[in-house]
Amino acid sequence: MSEQLADLPLPVQSQWSVVRSCVWQVLAALASSLLVSFVVGFVVAFVGAATRSASLLHMTQEFAYIQSLAILSMLMVNATYLLFARDELKERLRQFLPDLMNGLRRPVSLLILVCVPLGLLGSVHWAITTTQLTRNFLHDMSPIYWLAIAVLLVIVAPVAEEIFYRGYVWGRLSSIMPPWKAGTISAALFLGSHVPNGILAPLLVLPLTILLTVLRLRRVGVGVCVLAHGIYNGTIILGNLVQTYVAPLHMPS
């Protein structure tokens, strides 16, 4: 069904101009989150300094500020992605369920099951690289915090990122170049957007990126990609939750 969703017609443009436009849009999405986080962080720091001595700030409070800014940053990035894809967003959302059901009938959609072990590997990496101090902070957080993280990473981020990278960017590029080249560039932009999460972040998300690219190259719709992405993120969040409260793996001090 999703393949019947015609990509928006483009005026005649060089391949480089379209690629350059997509790169700038990714950078704009990332910059928007940095700007908002900086402003909010500055306000929080100013209010904190005005109400108490900086030396009295507890580490848990500082972690709370950092976590809140991280959540806000991710929200801003995803909102910007959807802003750039707004011309086709309504139609893609309307066709989401039919697209998903059609995609799941195809044998290639079984690849989404690979997202579970990939997510478990991501959770193991988190467990062995996250400090005990951070785990203690997360252990004391209310269920509302974990719910907010789950909604953001299991629903909001997969929808926004897949509609942008495997929908909007893919559609623009594939209108002027072969699908394999469009998929490669889209995948590279997706990986590059994870650099702010850490220098190893693109490497960790590479298997998922390859899987999603293969699905699209096999003409599976964006809906299945959203589901696969959500399963991957959800597995990581569930694993992190278990590690926080049960700690089956060693965590560094």
| 89 within domain boundaries | yes
**DSSP-assigned letters across all residues of 93-144:** HHTHHHHHHHHHTSGGGGGGGGHHHHHHHHHHHHHHHS-HHHHHHHHTS-HH
**How far from the centroid of its chain's Cα atoms is residue 173's Cα?**
21
**How far from the centroid of its chain's Cα atoms is residue 74's Cα?**
8
Number of domains within the chain: 1
Contact assessment for residue 112 and residue 224, using Cβ atoms and an 8 Å cutoff: yes
| 187 within domain boundaries | yes
Cα gap 79→167, rounded to integer Å: 15
| 155 within domain boundaries | yes
Task: Supply 29's token pair.
Answer: 């999405």
Residue 78 CB-half CA count within 13 A: 18
Q: Which amino acid is at 223?
A: G
| 194 within domain boundaries | yes
| 183 within domain boundaries | yes
pLDDT digits (tens, 9 = 90+) for 9-42: 444 467 889 999 999 999 999 998 888 877 776 6
pLDDT digits (tens, 9 = 90+) for 202-251: 999 999 999 999 999 999 999 999 999 999 999 999 999 988 888 766 65
Contact assessment for residue 156 and residue 2, using Cβ atoms and an 8 Å cutoff: no
- The answer to whether residue 6 scores a pLDDT higher than 80 is no
| 83 within domain boundaries | yes
Task: Give the model's confidence band at 178: pLDDT under 50 very low, under 70 low, under 90 confident, else very high.
Answer: very high
Q: What is the pTM of this model?
A: 0.86
Q: By residue range, what is the domain housing residue 89?
A: 11-245
| 25 within domain boundaries | yes
pLDDT digits (tens, 9 = 90+) for 103-142: 999 999 999 999 999 999 999 988 888 877 777 778 777 7
| 3 within domain boundaries | no
Closest CA to 157 of 98, 231, 67: 231
- CA distances, 96 to each of 48, 100, 206, 210 (Å): 44, 6, 25, 22
